[in-house]
Amino acid sequence: MTGPDDVPPVRRRGRPSRMQTEAAGPATRDRILEAARAEFSERGYEKTSVRGIAKAAGVDAALVHHYFGTKEQVFEASIEGAFAPALNAPAAIEDGPVDGVGERLTRFIFSVWENPATRAPLLAIVRSAVNNETAAAVFRRLVAVQLLRKVARQLDLPPEEAELRAELAAAQLVGIAMLRYVIKVEPLASADMERIVERVAPVVQGHLTGE
């Protein structure tokens, strides 16, 4: 026979329990982000769900919402971490004479793509952005605010001209990365990297500093 004290407490739907929250920590948050990157990479933005991310991370879906909010916010947090190596590109511009900035930036960006550890999450970002407008908007915001504007500030040009030049240089590099690493068009996909840098760096230099 059961009494009122035997009835389990009812937890509000969509919120993690106090026990879950107290047991979670930085390691749990990192595990959720890692699971999110894997899910977005394998399934793309549209087919990935918060519930699926939670299952892959071994946590309750409410805990994912607790840390990150919506699916869009989970995506932004996951790609920001994955995109972090590329955000060091502005430093590549500063470190050396202006007449070599095209080669330095080209080498830096392609070094990120050539590294298998950083290539996989970048592929997940690009594939999701190509196939979904919400993902594309997140990607554009990240690239514009955290990368291109920082690159533009390094150029000794009026702001509008500097941003346009930085975007043109980025378009050149992203386009080649798409063909080489995503679509894998031959002979570009298997071409020697030094040969690619030799051909592309002067074009990037022209975008950034040419008349």
Q: How far apart are CA 42 and CA 45, in angstroms?
A: 9
CB 167 within 8 A of CB 153: no
Q: How far apart are CA 170 and CA 143, in angstroms?
A: 9
CA neighbor of 123 nearest in space, from 79, 85, 81: 79
pLDDT, tens only, 28-56: 888 998 898 888 878 888 888 999 999 99
CA neighbor of 16 nearest in space, from 80, 92, 68, 78: 68
Query: CB-based contacts of 185: which residues, under 8 Å, 6+ apart?
Result: 179
CA neighbor of 106 nearest in space, from 6, 193, 5: 193
pLDDT, tens only, 55-104: 999 999 999 999 999 988 898 888 777 777 776 777 777 777 888 889 98
Write out the H or E segment, with its range, that includes residue 188: none
Match 């511009």 to its residue by tokens. Answer: 93
